[in-house]
Amino acid sequence: MLTSTCEQPYLQAIYDAAGGVLDAPLASLATDWNKVSITIRGIRDDITNPDVKLSSILLKAKVMAYSLDVPEFKQWIERELEGYEGEDVEVPDYRKAAGTNFGQFSGYGGAWIDKQGIPVSHLPEAVRERYGTFQLREGIPAIETTIESLTQNNKFEMRAPWAAEAVAMVSKVGRIVEGYALVAAWQAISKNFLESVQHTVRNRMLTFVLELENRFPETIGSEEAISRVPSEQTQNIFQTYVLGGQNVMASGTGFVQQAHTNVQENDIDSLLHYMRVLNVSDEDVDELREAIGEDETPPDRGTFGSRVAGWIGKMTQKSLEGAWMTSSNVGVQALIDAISRYYGQN
């Protein structure tokens, strides 16, 4: 649950709006577990029922985890409910995404850019480490509350503001957008990403209970039979189907790195071909061609002209809204890396 010292600004706003009390999702799920029979069939049916909240399923799974007596399973359930608290606690890969950053910029003569994508790959190491990736550490009840708030307000994303010192490090005119200085920045977290985390947890829980059903059919309708399942076998199932398969981000990044090496300096055709590989529409590819033609070659490494920077911002927004169908983990950064390679900045 969120606390008054929450380190996630975009969720902290919800905590503040709730008057400092946001443990309601857990409290509302509280019940007398002595009156509830926890069976594999019951949990399976809840998982496949879209009307049952994931936080409710996890609370029931917590009871089952103690019957199974598998420490790793109990820990995973606890962290999915309460959050992955502490910098030393590793966050699963399905809770990680490439950082999607935007900023406001001020130019000469009162010129102003209200929302512009910020590529961080060529910024100082401290900024890259902090904002190049995003880790969702909040528990499922808080995520559910966030999604409900976004849906009610017809929004696609939440904003996590950059620290003032990070903005100051890269605020120099032309450091990011030619002729403009950065005055404010934030990391955007899409509703699609939050929903994908929910889906992954729900799907892995379903696979876990189905494997238990398949291997130990006596547990399907018997709460008592769950406690008799050998812990060693249950642990193997958990390791394989819940903790396993977490290399999505790494494998996706590897593909992008291999593919964008085919983009050659000042070879517009190789760049545009790669954009199509990333499922960028023909209309957006043509717009990028025009933007590159109108912008001057950026003088400094890690900067782009205003037209190209604007195009990157547009594609970033499309990614957040699901209008550009590509991997949310690597898509936007792949665009930036490829354009940088075209300009000879890599």
Asked whether 63 and 44 are in contact (CB, 8 A), the reply is: no
* Tens-place pLDDT, residues 171-189: 988 788 888 999 999 998 9
* Tens-place pLDDT, residues 113-165: 988 888 787 788 899 888 988 899 999 999 999 999 999 999 888 889 999 99
Residue 203 neighbours by CB under 8 Å, 6+ apart: none
**For residue 86, what pLDDT is reported?**
86
**For residue 217, what pLDDT is reported?**
86
* Tens-place pLDDT, residues 89-113: 999 999 998 888 899 999 998 899 9
pTM for this prediction:
0.67
**For residue 257, what pLDDT is reported?**
44
DSSP-assigned states of every residue in 217-282: GGGSS-HHHHTTS-HHHHHHHHHHHTSS---HHHHHHHHHHHHHTTPPTT-HHHHHHHHHHTT--H
Asked whether 312 and 337 are in contact (CB, 8 A), the reply is: no
Average confidence (pLDDT) over 326-333: 58
* Nearest alpha carbon to residue 317 among 230, 188, 221: 188
Is the backbone of residue 160 left (phi > 0), alpha (psi -120 to 50) or beta? beta
Q: Is 167 a residue whose pLDDT tops 80?
A: yes
Least confident stretch, 31-35, 141-145, 161-165, 196-200: 31-35
Backbone angles phi, psi at 295, to 5 degrees: -80, 150
Q: Is 259 a residue whose pLDDT tops 50?
A: no
Express as a percent the part of the chain with pLDDT over 70.
Answer: 81
3-class secondary structure, 32: coil
**For residue 37, what pLDDT is reported?**
56
Asked whether 198 and 174 are in contact (CB, 8 A), the reply is: no
- Measured CA to CA, the distance from residue 346 to residue 340 in angstroms comes to 6
Q: Which residues pair with 177 in a beta bridge?
A: 304
DSSP-assigned states of every residue in 82-151: H---STTSPPPGGGEEE--EEEEEEEGGG-EEEEEE---TTS-HHHHHHHSEEE--S-HHHHHHHHHHHH
pLDDT band at 346 (very low <50, low <70, confident <90, very high): low
**For residue 330, what pLDDT is reported?**
54
**For residue 100, what pLDDT is reported?**
85
* Tens-place pLDDT, residues 207-231: 999 998 888 888 777 777 787 888 8
Q: Is 56 a residue whose pLDDT tops 60?
A: yes
Is the backbone of residue 110 left (phi > 0), alpha (psi -120 to 50) or beta? left
Asked whether 47 and 202 are in contact (CB, 8 A), the reply is: yes
Say how many Å lie between the first and final Cα of the chain, rounded: 42
Whose tokens are 């200085």? That residue is: 181
